[in-house]
Amino acid sequence: MNVLLVSYYYPPLGGAGVQRALKFSKYLGDFGVQVSVLAADNAGYVQDPSLLAEVPPALAVRRVAHRPLLQRLMALRPARPADVANAAPPTTAGAAPPRAGLRDAALRLYAAAQFPDDRGGWARRALAAGHALIREQRIDLVLSTAPPMSAHWLGARLAREAHLPWVADYRDLWTDNPGYAAPAWRAAIDRATESRWLRRAAGVVTVTPSWRERFERQIGTRCPIAFIPNGYDEADFAHASAAPRSDGCFRLLHTGTFYGPRDPATLLDGMDRYLKRGVPAARPLRLRLVGNMGGRFAQLLQQFERQHPGVVEQCAYVPHHAAISEMLAADALMLVVGAGRQGRQGQGGAVVAGTLPGKIFEYLRAARPVLLLGDEHGDAAALLRQHGQGWIADETRPEAIAAALQQMMDAAPEQRAPAASVASFERRALAGTLAGFLAECREAGRV
């Protein structure tokens, strides 16, 4: 079977959003699925050329140049010291500065005008390249992975015009996402658009059990729905090793960015409370943040640094293999699943409870204890209890975070081998599951 994989994020682009598409394209060939890829070429996005070594040499990849308007404008804008402070979002410490409020309003207006999102221009320009790939590679099925939702717009249209089945892979939700902030008129358009997509789909894949149940309620029996989580690649760990350390500190590591509605304000509040308890510890605590934080939280982090010098270490984006080495060198790993108090309210709370960030599987494979900040009854908490070790605290309660930090420092758990059950999340095995599902969708012949 020949499959066209539509993914905005693909090497040499870096970041967490690349991994799922990359690993599927790397391993689906082992199960009789020949993949071609339609992706973006965005020079302004974080780059990780080291990932290109994992792309199979015979795999056809078309990259369509794209750089969102806001990205281009920010590149032209001179950096000024005042902008760093004004870039910080509202936190529990107080309201946003007036300039930040005007900026956020302008960004919301801009976002509401983009369809289906700010990658829509890329999707429209990529149509011709997609049809060329379909002809050249004799494609049997189109698989798109999102976000951005423009990938689903593109995948659905290519499949419809070429009379092929289309499968939608949801790494995240759209209008039900806690970070979704479009006005009501735009939300109505997006919901109607997604309903049309789902009526057209030959199959839907999603990454958490709760989200699969959500789609089952929405779609019914119109098409098959699969739960295929993110995972880890054993090859990544085979070539990684923990860097030697001699600082004598207990290192709690967080990899990735705080994006959308997430911010580190409550975490830092909890750390402040823990440190002010003054309880003696065998080793001093250090929180290491690896990933691009940008200017959003600069003011918040600077304030914490003034109160607790040297406790937080920041490191910009590193290649994926280096991030794996960072995990192996850490004493414990931190995972922020929740979206704060606002994200817990109403329907969004159920969505947050169903979130399974991709890095949780690499954390489990690294076999380090995990401090999970999020819903104590959510999918991620259940996964950690079943397959790993660690502590779980409500990310909206600083005192709960402080208590979990105290338990972590008191326990000083030993590092151990990963549980045997973690092997079910290995990327090659998951690609085999996807191959079987795609064959089922193709056999059904829904176009």
CATH number of the CATH domain containing 318:
3.40.50.2000
Is the domain of 254 the same as that of 202?
no
Is the domain of 300 the same as that of 218?
no
Backbone angles phi, psi at 38, to 5 degrees: -115, 115
* pLDDT score of 346: 44
Q: Where are the beta strands (DSSP E) in 171-323?
A: 203-206, 225-227, 250-255, 285-290, 312-315
Distance CA 427, CA 24 (A): 8
Is the domain of 212 the same as that of 327?
no
Q: What's the total number of domains in the chain?
A: 2
Q: Which of 384, 376, 255, 269 is nearest to 322 (CA)?
A: 255
Q: Is the dihedral of CA 331, 337, 342, 344 positive or negative?
A: negative
> Longest C-alpha distance within the chain, in Å?
67
Is the domain of 395 the same as that of 253?
yes
* pLDDT score of 94: 40
Q: pLDDT in tens for each of the 447 residues of the chain?
A: 999 999 999 999 998 899 999 999 999 999 999 999 999 999 999 999 999 999 999 999 999 999 877 665 555 555 444 333 333 333 333 444 556 667 767 777 777 778 899 999 999 999 999 999 999 999 999 999 999 999 999 999 999 999 999 999 999 999 988 888 889 999 999 999 999 999 999 999 999 999 999 999 999 888 999 999 999 999 999 988 887 777 889 999 999 888 766 778 999 999 999 999 998 888 999 999 999 887 788 899 999 999 999 999 999 999 999 999 999 999 999 999 875 544 444 445 556 667 888 899 999 999 999 999 999 989 999 999 999 999 999 999 999 999 999 999 998 666 677 888 999 999 999 999 999 999 999 988 654
Q: Which of 411, 443, 313 is nearest to 1 (CA)?
A: 443
332-336 β-sheet, strand order: 312-315, 285-290, 250-255, 332-336, 370-373, 390-393
Structure tokens at 269: 């509040």
Is the domain of 326 the same as that of 251?
yes
* pLDDT score of 345: 47
